Amino acid sequence: MAHPDDPELWAGGTLALHARTAPVIAAVQAHDTVRNAEAVAGGKALGAEVVLAEALDAATVTELILRHRPEILITHPVDDVHPDHRRIAGAVMEGLVDAVIATGHPKKLYACDTYNSLTLSGPVAASVIVDVTATFEQKMTALREHRSQPITEHFGPMAENLGSLWGARIGASRAEAFTALPILGRLPGAAHL
C-alpha cells in the first residue's frame, strides 16, 4: 500500500477478519518516523504484521512475494485517482509476474476500494464484497492509530460511509469491496477472498 493508513482505510475489516485464522502482512511504503510508528500500531490493532519498505517498487514487490508467498494479495486499483496508489498498483502488477512464475504465489489478486469508490475509469466495479460487520470497530480502532492524519474529519467518515454503502448491497451492516485482478491471464474462481 502507498500510505501508512491505507491498509486500515481500504481493507482493514477484511485484514482483521483474515488475521483471526491466518497470518496477515501489510507492506507499506515507508514515510517519516511518526507515520511509520502509526503504521505499526495500526497493523497491531488489526492483528497484522507491517513491513515498511523504503522503496515499494517492482523489485521489492517480487522480493516480498518470494519471501512471504501470500495466498491473497491486495493492492490499490490500477486506475486509482491518487497517483501514489496508481504507482504502487503498477509496481505490484509488474513485480508479481516473476514471483508467480517462480512460486505460484499469490493465488489471488484483488484491488481494494478507493476514494468514494470512484476510479479514473468510473465507479469501482467490485466483484467481491466482504461482510466486515464483526471487525468494523477493529478497523476503525486501527485507523484512529494514525493520529497525524485527518481521520476524524475526513478518512473516518469516508470509511463509515463506504462500509455502510457496501454493506447495504449484501444485507450487512458493514462491508468492504474488492475487484479481482488477473494474474497472468487468470482470475480467482471463488466469490470471496
Q: How far apart are CA 35 and CA 59, in angstroms?
A: 23
Residue 186 lies in a domain: no
We report the CATH number of the domain holding residue 172 as 3.40.50.10320
- The mean pLDDT values, 10 residues at a time, for the chain of 193 residues are 97 98 96 97 98 95 97 97 98 96 95 97 95 98 97 96 98 97 82 66
Do the domain assignments include residue 189?
no
Range of the domain at 18: 6-181
Q: 34 lies in a domain?
A: yes
Residue 94 lies inside a defined structural domain of this protein: yes
Q: Is-contact 193 14, C-beta < 8 A?
A: yes
Q: Total domain count for the chain?
A: 1
Q: Is residue 157 part of a domain?
A: yes
Q: Is residue 191 part of a domain?
A: no
**173 within some domain:** yes
pLDDT tens figures, 132-173? 999 999 999 999 999 999 999 999 999 999 999 999 999 999
